[in-house]
Amino acid sequence: MKFAVAAALVFAAGFAWLPAGEAAPQKLVLSGASTMAPVAGEIARRFESRYRGTRIDVQSGGSSRGINDVRNGLAAIGMVSRVLKPQEKDLQAHAIAWDGVGVILHASNPVAVLSRQQISGIYTGKIANWKDVGGTDSPITVVNKAEGRSTLELFLRYLGLKASDIRPHVIIGDNSQGIKTVAGNSNAIGYVSIGAAEYEAKHRVPIKLLPLEGVAATVANVRNGTFLLSRPLNLVTGTAPKGLVREFIEFARSEHVDDLVEAQYFVPVSIR
């Protein structure tokens, strides 16, 4: 009975060990930012192939979930696609890559650029038709991120708005939902990870990224530091990482996974 209770507590902390001689793997749980989940999953598969007897479980749900799961012992590592807030300084962040947040439109939309003021006007409902910003006479469909998403927080900070100021028509969760929504609606506007959007656009999904402040929304400009809306992609722990947690984080920050990070159109920490 005592052993069962102890094992349950260890598992709740996000990873588990087993007595010598048992074949079941060590397990590590990551949860949080949907932006990071695909690349974390690829890194996890490579880690498992190199470190036999391990199993990495990657779960999305937003950066807030990553923070809460680490604090509540439900995950050993949280995925948080932003800088930690002052009230989160009890946690430790370990950046594995850099990404940007860009505004996307349907590829057929003739609008090529929007000012910060125009974007703010669209998202607060003051501008409701594309003709008012140089487009066709069509109503604008505003696509916004759900609460708890770090992409939303960064976007609001850029515009100087609060969540209550936004007047959305569609609320989405992860980047793929946002991209699919805009790709399926020629009058929609959204904002997503530049890495995710650039990847999909190059694979013929009908979306386009708009420049901000005269700077193109590209991975290259995130890499050189000229794009304003950039952010670290962090693995977050409650204490200094040890054991399997430390090994995974060190692996995720190493040159051994740079190709995986770049394949997802992010910038590895070893490059920037």
108/82 same-domain check: no
What integer is the mean pLDDT of 60-81? 96
- Angular region, 178: left φ>0, alpha ψ -120 to 50, beta rest: alpha
Residue 147 pLDDT class (50, 70, 90 cuts): confident
Residue 272 pLDDT class (50, 70, 90 cuts): low
What integer is the mean pLDDT of 110-128? 98
pLDDT at position 62 over 50: yes
Which domain range does residue 252 map to? 2-98+232-268
Q: What is the 3-state secondary structure (H, E, C) of the chain?
A: CHHHHHHHHHHHCCEECCCCCCCCCEEEEEEECCCCHHHHHHHHHHHHHHCCCEEEEEEECCHHHHHHHHHCCCCCEEEECCCCCHHHCCCEEEEEEEEEEEEEEECCCCCCCCCHHHHHHHHCCCCCEHHHHCCCCCECEEEEECCCCHHHHHHHHHHCCCHHHCCCCEEECCHHHHHHHHHCCCCEEEEEEHHHHHHHHHCCCCEEECCECCECCCHHHHHCCCCCCEEEEEEEECCCCCHHHHHHHHHHCCHHHHHHHHHCCCEECCCC
18/72 same-domain check: yes
Q: How many Cα atoms within 13 Å fall on the side-chain side of residue 202?
A: 11
105/202 same-domain check: yes
Q: For 76-105, what is each residue's pLDDT tens digit?
A: 999 999 999 999 999 999 999 999 999 999
Higher pLDDT: 43 or 3? It is 43
Average predicted confidence (pLDDT) for the chain? 90
What integer is the mean pLDDT of 202-222? 95
Query: What is the structure's pLDDT at 49?
Result: 95
pLDDT at position 222 over 90: yes
The last residue of a domain, from among 223, 244, 260: 223
Q: How many domains does the chain have?
A: 2
Q: How many Cα atoms within 13 Å fall on the side-chain side of residue 222?
A: 24
Q: For 233-250, what is each residue's pLDDT tens digit?
A: 999 999 999 999 999 999
pLDDT at position 11 over 50: no
37/130 same-domain check: no
126/92 same-domain check: no
CATH number for the domain that contains residue 30: 3.40.190.10
What integer is the mean pLDDT of 150-175? 93
What is the number of other CB atoms lying within 10 angstroms of the CB of residue 106? Answer: 19
Residue indicated by tokens 């995925």: 79
* Longest alpha-carbon distance in the chain: 70
219/248 same-domain check: no
Query: What is the structure's pLDDT at 15?
Result: 40
Higher pLDDT: 18 or 176? It is 176
What integer is the mean pLDDT of 218-238? 93
Query: What is the structure's pLDDT at 192?
Result: 95
Q: What residues contact residue 196 under an 8 Å CB cut-off, 6+ apart?
A: 35, 175, 176, 179, 264, 265
73/127 same-domain check: no
Query: What is the structure's pLDDT at 25?
Result: 63
What integer is the mean pLDDT of 218-228? 92
Q: Give the burial class of 245: count Cβ atoms within 10 A of its Cβ; 0-12 exposed, 13-18 middle, 19 or more buried.
A: buried
93/194 same-domain check: no
107/202 same-domain check: yes
Closest CA to 175 of 196, 203, 204, 206: 196
Angle 131-132-135 from CA coordinates, rounded to 5°: 35
156/199 same-domain check: yes
237/250 same-domain check: yes
Query: What is the structure's pLDDT at 63?
Result: 92
> Lowest-pLDDT range, 15-24, 69-78, 155-164, 195-204?
15-24
How would you classify the pairing of strands 92-106 and 207-209? antiparallel
What integer is the mean pLDDT of 56-60? 97
Closest CA to 217 of 203, 229, 205: 229
56/120 same-domain check: no
